[in-house]
Amino acid sequence: MASIPGHELVGTRLVGALPTADLVSLWVPVTSAIVKRGFVVEYRDLEPPRTGIFDGLRIVVDPDVGFEMQCFLLLHLFGHSVQWVAPSIEHKLAALQHTEDKAEFMRVLHAYEFEAAGFGMQLLRDAGITHLDQWYSDFVETDWKYVEGYYATDQLPDWKTCVVSGCPLIEPQPIPPLAHRQVEVRFAF
């Protein structure tokens, strides 16, 4: 009887437990796909609590962040970069920047985060990666829980308390044409 690696079992926690071999097999093609879409990928020491930044031209990841988080940040910040440099969807950013009602802002923020996640999932597809959908989807939901916790309390929550598993899979979203340009630096924390 062949053994099944634990990360492949249904219902197991994937976020924080993805094997290094899977992360390495993700990093190379995803980084290549991002560069081929015209973005620079860079390592740079960032001021805490920033873990990554993007500016429309480059995606920067702090090398002190764990490798699994770096892999997620590449996908996540790629998705947000698309949102800021794709002329066909830039109109959606107005509500994110100008909504003052907190409940409405959280609804807009959720849509923004999950649209970016869809672009990240499409990038995975474009890079030929189809076996990490649950890991990525769980990471997106974990990240949302973290962001939501921050906006509810004005304090960064403990990441470990936000980890969830078995989330609905993120649907890939077609990546629209991009018009690379410098935008105001945005960051992940």
What are the angstrom distances between the C-alpha of 151 and each of 110, 117, 145?
A: 12, 19, 10
> What is the structure's pLDDT at 5?
44
For the chain, percent of residues with pLDDT exceeding 90: 87
Q: Is residue 29 part of a domain?
A: yes
Range of the domain at 154: 14-188
Please state the pTM of the whole predicted model: 0.91
Angle at 26 between CA 76 and CA 44, to 5 degrees: 55
- Tens-digit pLDDT profile for residues 69-85: 999 999 999 999 999 99
- Tens-digit pLDDT profile for residues 95-146: 999 999 999 999 999 999 999 999 999 999 999 999 999 999 999 999 999 9
Number of independent structural domains in the chain = 1
- Short-list 76, 68, 91, CA closest to 7: 68
Q: Is residue 6 part of a domain?
A: no
Q: Is residue 140 part of a domain?
A: yes
Angle at 152 between CA 118 and CA 100, to 5 degrees: 75
Q: Is residue 5 part of a domain?
A: no
Q: Is residue 169 part of a domain?
A: yes
Per DSSP, 6 falls in state: G
Q: Is residue 1 part of a domain?
A: no
Cα–Cα distance, 50 to 86 (Å, whole number): 24
Q: Is residue 128 part of a domain?
A: yes
Q: Is residue 7 part of a domain?
A: no
